Amino acid sequence: MTRLADALQRANARTSTVATGSAVSPSTAAAPALALVTEEPDARPAAGAPLLALPKRPNGPTVWRTDPELIGKLVGTDDFPAGAREQYRKLAALLHHAQVERDLKVVLTSSALPGEGKSLTAINTALTLSESLQRRVLLIDADLRRPTIQRIFGIPPVGGLNEVLKSQHDQPTTIGQLTERLFVLPAGRPDADPLGGLTSPRMERVLAQASSMFDWVIVDSPPIGLLPDAGLLTQWVGGVLLVVRSGKAPFQLVKRTVDAVGRDRIVGVIMNAVDFAHDRNAGGYYEYYGYGYGSAAEKQ
């Protein structure tokens, strides 16, 4: 059992004890959210009321595997390059080892600049973990300014993360289900100023509750090099996957991005769209994953 699960049990026990006391009403007994990682376990706040609810039956889009715009780009679609599929499986295996060693469960994907492939990487990582490793995975679209995951899957921009964060009441939101083991929490309506919600105790609760419900939680965020959103979100996650598109982001910008996140927080640096002219399996989409910042820097 992970430290988070232990903390959730302790927090729930404390909340029940307070709520049954004669001097405290149920409204005042509601506790703030539980942090994913803190230095003092006894100072962790309780998880609070459920904010996420599982669907009673698959309720997500089912046509994405045959969408001409997605074929060859997403794991599980026809014509997806064999080389890229193997690299995603390698990435999933490395994440599995990190989970065993570090209790890693909540991972954020980001990049230094837009257009480096972070959202596709988040989706394909989630698909690989759910299909190849047979894990239950929740994919969260936390790019509230410019939601991408919900656009890729054709999910209407309503009833998503933004609505959960802005709601005045703790009302469970039913998440979407894309496959047997892959679920999605869309961004909802775009928000030009999402910082208040992303740094709120409710966002902390969303991730804590998601972590208790799923084997993996993959969070897609805005580019770290341009906006503060992703940098603020890193306080709630266990690690960061940084996506670097070959030939796009300057090395110094990538270096500043890594320094801003903190090298100890980087789970892996993913070199995206590397062109191997002699690899016939590449198909223009082959990706190489260099783990550890040093190996990625040497390839810039």
User: Which pLDDT belongs to residue 299?
Assistant: 33
Quote the pTM value: 0.76
Same domain, 35 and 145: no
Residue 3 has pLDDT above 50, yes or no: no
Torsion of CA 244, 250, 255, 261, to 10 degrees: -50
What integer pLDDT is reported at residue 276 of this predicted model?
53
What pLDDT score does 5 carry? 43
H-run or E-run covering 241 = strand 239-245
Residue 76 pLDDT more than 80? Answer: yes
Structure confidence at residue 275 (pLDDT): 64
Residue 234 pLDDT: 84
Q: Are residues 88 and 103 in the same domain?
A: yes
Among 263, 259, 269, 264, residue whose Cα is nearest residue 110: 269
pLDDT digits (tens, 9 = 90+) for 251-282: 888 888 888 888 888 998 888 877 654 444 44
Give the bridge partners for 184, in sequence order: 139, 176
Strand partners, 217: 106, 138
Residues 60 and 32 in one domain: no
Residues 231-256 have pLDDT tens digits of 788 888 999 999 998 888 888 888 88
Shared domain for 128 and 184, answered yes or no, is yes
Mean pLDDT of the chain: 77
Q: Does the CA dihedral 113-211-120-195 come out positive or negative?
A: negative
- Whether residues 24 and 120 share a domain: the answer is no
Same domain for 180 and 216, yes or no, is yes
* pLDDT given at position 62: 79
HEC-encoded secondary structure of 33-91: CCCCCCCCHHHCCCCCCCCEECCCCCCCCCCHHHCCCCCCCCCCCCCCCHHHHHHHHHH
Tens of pLDDT along 93-102?
999 999 999 9
Which comes out higher in pLDDT, residue 81 or 229?
81
> Can you tell me which residue has the tokens 């609810």?
53
- Give 15 or 146, the one with higher predicted confidence: 146
- What percentage of the chain has pLDDT greater than the value 90? 46
Q: 287 pLDDT exceeds 90?
A: no
Q: What is the pLDDT of residue 143?
A: 92
**Helices 82-102 & 118-131 angle (0-180, nearest 10):** 80
Is the domain of 15 the same as that of 105? no
Q: Encode pLDDT of 16-52 as tens digits.
A: 333 333 332 333 333 223 222 323 333 343 357 899 9
Shared-domain flag, residues 78 and 209: yes
Its domain, for residue 161, covers 49-298
Which residue would you say has higher pLDDT here, 186 or 293? 186
Give me the CATH number covering residue 188.
Answer: 3.40.50.300
pLDDT at res. 7: 39
pLDDT digits (tens, 9 = 90+) for 171-210: 889 999 999 999 999 999 999 988 889 888 999 999 999 9
Residue 154 shares a structural domain with residue 250? yes
Burial of 68 from C-beta contacts in 10 A (0-12 / 13-18 / 19+): exposed
Question: Is there a single domain that holds both residue 39 and residue 95?
Answer: no
Q: Which amino acid is at 247?
A: G
From 93, 79, 81, 170, select the one nearest 128 (Cα to Cα). Answer: 93
Say which residue, 70 or 249, is predicted with more confidence. 70
> How many domains would you assign to the chain?
2
8 Å CB contact between 11 and 21: no
14 and 30 assigned to the same domain? yes
